[in-house]
Amino acid sequence: MSDALLEIEDYGGGFCSETGDFTPVLHGVSFRLKTGAMTAVVGESGSGKSLTALSVLGIQPPAFERTAGRMLFRGTDLFDLDEKGMRAIRGREIAMVFQDARAALNPVFTVGRQLADVWQLQHGGGRKAAMMKAIDALGRVSIPEPERRARQYPHEFSGGMAQRAMIAMAALICQPSLLILDEPTTGLDVTIQSDIMELIVELGHARGLTTCLITHDLGVVAETCDEVVVMNAGRVVETGSAEAIFTTPQDLYTQRLLSASQLVEAA
């Protein structure tokens, strides 16, 4: 039996324009997310890492067309599932935290109501019980005065607090097996970034989560991740343990990434 919760095999595709022109952007992408581990997918903007992550949940842009490959979640190819089957996977089995948390939250509903609605959708139960779960989740991600904060709207939350709320929704309310985080610390100051990553690591360990971190921040990767996937121009150029990638990188692109970062001595 594979020790991977998700296996991406030879995934390829591109964008089709209105005139019918096809531009390939992903080329034979293959990597595995080991069960219970935190795996980073790193690379420059445009490398294809976020597009690959969105494809796992079937929420890639409409103009994107898959040309090859499989994504096996617990042995089931996600591409074989219809929309009803994917709805059963999204949130309940695989959840995602996006980089702009306040934009991901609905501005016209309180944060507590949004978390409570997701709880009811995933687990059922009454409104009052769902709100108690929402308040508890906000408290568990160290949001102060969670009962009061639950009555507030997204615009009343700071960027870091909104990100904590989204992590609460994805990791604690949805209770998935796989948590994908797409640049979760972008736009936050250094202290808040550190707090958010510490929270993600703690939740991962506490719940036995398999975590996929999409990022370009190699400092964060060095401090928190077990495995690393390096992507460049829509291709996976290197995979390995974090220790191996940072101490003995094999691919020239990986070496350049490390040299361009503040982790030159690690390379």
Report residue 262's pLDDT band, with 50, 70 and 90 as the boundaries. low
pLDDT category at 263 given cuts 50, 70, 90 is low
pLDDT digits (tens, 9 = 90+) for 181-207: 999 888 788 888 888 999 999 999 988
178: enclosing H helix or E strand = strand 178-182
Residues linked to residue 94 through DSSP beta bridges, in sequence order: 90, 178
The confidence score (pLDDT) of residue 258 equals 92
Strand ordering across the sheet containing 4-16: 22-34, 4-16, 64-73, 76-77
Please list the helix, strand and coil fractions of the chain in percent, rounded to the nearest 5, in that order. 45, 25, 30
- The Cα diameter of the chain in Å comes to 56
Q: pLDDT at residue 267 above 50?
A: no
Q: Is 150 exposed, middle or buried (0-12, 13-18, 19+ CB in 10 A)?
A: buried
Task: Tell me the pLDDT tens digit for each residue of 8-40.
Answer: 999 999 999 988 899 999 999 999 999 999 999
